[in-house]
A and B are shown apart, each in its own frame.
Chain A
Amino acid sequence: MGFKRDQLIAVLMLLPSILLIALFVYGFIGNTVYVSMTDWGKDAALALDPVKNFVGLKNYADLFTGFLDGRFRQDLVNAVFYSFFLVAGSLAFGLFLAVLLDRNPKGERFFQTVFLYPLSLSFIVSGTIWRWLLAPDGGLNVLPVFIGLPKLEFQWLSSLETTLTFNWQYLPRLLVIMISLVVLVISLFILGKGSRKTGAGVGILGFLLLAIGIFGKDLLPTILFMEEIHGLNMATIGIIIAAVWQYSGYTMALFLAGLRGIPRDLVKAARLDGASEWQYYRRIAIPMLKPITLSAVIILSHISLKIFDLIFAMTGPDNVEAGHPSLLMYLTTFRANQFAKGASIAVVLFILAAIFIVPYIVSSYQGRKAAEL
């Protein structure tokens, strides 16, 4: 039979790609995970055949609780803020622009082109440009002068100020408090559904956790012997602005496609019911964008982990205040010769990405399976 033979050819044609992906993606990830559990680093790290001893999870313990790795923890906190603000900012701006364009203005194509072009640029190009705009003697600070205000004095990229600070020593307590709040919300949700018993049970658990978090100073370990303050560094603001400028066009395109995808009948029905524009968007259109928002959140948070280039171009690799684990991985590995530690930073970064990506990919897989049935 020809079909069978052709099917075999099909598999054979796919085989090179399968092998490449197996090696370059999965094999390499495995290798990096292994390297992260060795002591490859320091003096003779660059020998042709470096000595690597297995040390288990020591590098990870150092990263989170070792007192020399404060920069990693700062960068991790930065990463959370970068991701949050990039996602929130792009969603807000993108939705705003999409709603404007959904009103069918004249020259819509022109507007779309303008809002989307930054996306085609490299982070290095946009970073270079924004670095100039935000330089102490650069353009942005002098803008208020044109409308008669004094010039801004903010040090966009070199500010040492920090807000929203917390002490890393008490991270376990903070985490417990955060979990307790989530549990309490869930309990309210269950109560709302009508099942009193389970709701109350979950609620009690939530309060218990909250109490442990707030009062359990001695119950939970302090993970550092000294105080270490982290928070939102003001030096990251400029980089976030540049990133949002670049990526809000992307969410705009997604949302606009979503808004245009709403069936005309539904729009008409809303009009007939006398819904105002505002009500239409609030009640009908925006709720329908939920699935798109979800994929936008996932893709943007994944992009935010690649902010390496933008930071490199805007502040150079050595601005601790604006750092990011992806940059620290590069410096730790290639400048400090600590390959194992660099690998463990990469693994942390990878896990962060996987938290978002794996559910997304699995659900899309199930979606395809369901579509076939």
Chain B
Amino acid sequence: MKTQISPGRLILYSLLILMVIVYLIPVYMTIITALKFPEDINLLTSWDFPDRINWGSFSQAYDKLGPNLTNSIILTITATILSTLLGSLNGYVFSKWKFRGSETIFTLFLFGMFIPYQIILIPLFQVLRALNIYGGLPGLILAHVVYGIPITSLIFRNFYAQIPTGLIKSAQLDGAGFFRIYCRIVFPLSAPGFVVASIWQFTQIWNEFLWGICLTRHTSNPITVGLAQLAGGQAVNWNMPMAGSIMAGLPVVLVYIFLGKYFIRGLLEGAIKE
């Protein structure tokens, strides 16, 4: 026997579908515009599916953005690995090796997560210049690793809090030291923590713009800067910036779609756990 759909359910689903349309409109527009020829893009048919498909937009956009994509991949992977490892160590200390003042230090760390980055921009230049790493990816990686410390430490600290302290204590009694406990007990249990933290860092670093435009020379520009360049000039041929947007957006959207559960966990971490 089929259950009847109640009017309440009907309203619920129609509202949901309406909202889905609202949220997907920009994607639809991006895809169809990217597939059009520049001369086919005009006001009256802007919502229509293209009559003839122009895959060339993507290769054209790739010609311009290819180097930026490479830079972003190198940057994101390196900075993500470094900052999650650092965060894991910090989280381990903050949760299992508390000492006098460690809570205060942790709080001071957290503050670094919330500053508007304009406040550190001018000295950041001077320090990168002094270290002779301004302009290339190493400087950008350093910035992302340093300013990633607060959030990764927070994620791992909260994650390790779930590991029973008794486990640590008994290992200590067995004579295991700081590193052995980390390698034998804590690290093997860390996989979900690493997934949450690295997804978070991956999206943050991939999407970052201000440092990208301020700290790198042309050949080291990440994808966001490349895209802003592509779209910011002569905004007449909209198919190219739209194809570029797809290229710049796809990696993070894919990560989000396939690992959404962890993405949301990273999201809630900062807001609810405390």
A residues bordering B, Cβ < 8 Å? 2-3, 5-7, 9-11, 13-14, 17-18, 20-21, 23-29, 31-32, 35, 97, 100, 103, 105, 111-126, 128-133, 135, 137-139, 142-143, 146, 245, 249-250, 253-254, 257-258, 277, 292, 295-296, 299, 302, 305-306, 308-309, 312-313, 316, 326, 329-330, 333-334, 339, 342-343, 345-347, 349-350, 353, 357-358, 361-362, 364-365, 367-369
Contacts and interface: CB of A to CB of B under 8 A. Distances in A.
Given A124-B224, A326-B118, A292 B249 contact: no
Contacts of B110: 361, 364
B109 A137 contact: no
Contacts of A367: 274
A23 B117 CA distance: 14
Interface string B86-116: 1001100110010100111101111110111
Interface of B is mostly: helix
A222 B29 CA distance: 50
Given A126-B26, A131-B235, A25 B172 contact: no
A17 B172 contact: no
A10 B23 contact: no
A299 B270 contact: yes
A112 B20 CA distance: 10
A29 B119 contact: yes
Contacts of B124: 24, 28
Interface in B101-144: 102-105, 107-112, 114-124, 127
Interface in B225-263: 227-228, 231-232, 235, 238, 241-242, 244-245, 248-249, 252-253, 255-257, 260, 263
A245 to B, nearest CB: 7
Given A6-B97, A14-B93, 13 more contacts: A14-B94, A23-B127, A24-B127, A111-B20, A114-B20, A117-B257, A124-B207, A128-B244, A258-B272, A299-B271, A339-B122, A349-B116, A364-B110
A13 B96 CA distance: 13
Contacts of A129: 26, 29-30, 242, 245
A135 B24 contact: no
B162 interface: no
Interface stretch (B52-60, B145-153, B189-197): B145-153
B203 A9 contact: no
B122 A357 contact: no
B115 A29 contact: yes
A129 to B, nearest CB: 5
Given A13-B178, A35-B122, A361-B107, A21 B228 contact: no
Interface in B48-96: 86, 89-90, 93-94
B245 A125 contact: yes
Given A123-B207, A142-B43, A21 B149 contact: yes
B149 A2 contact: no
Contact of A121 (B207, B235, B244): B207
A137 to B, nearest CB: 5
A122 B116 contact: no
Q: Give the one of B30, B123, B203 with max A CB within 10 A.
A: B123
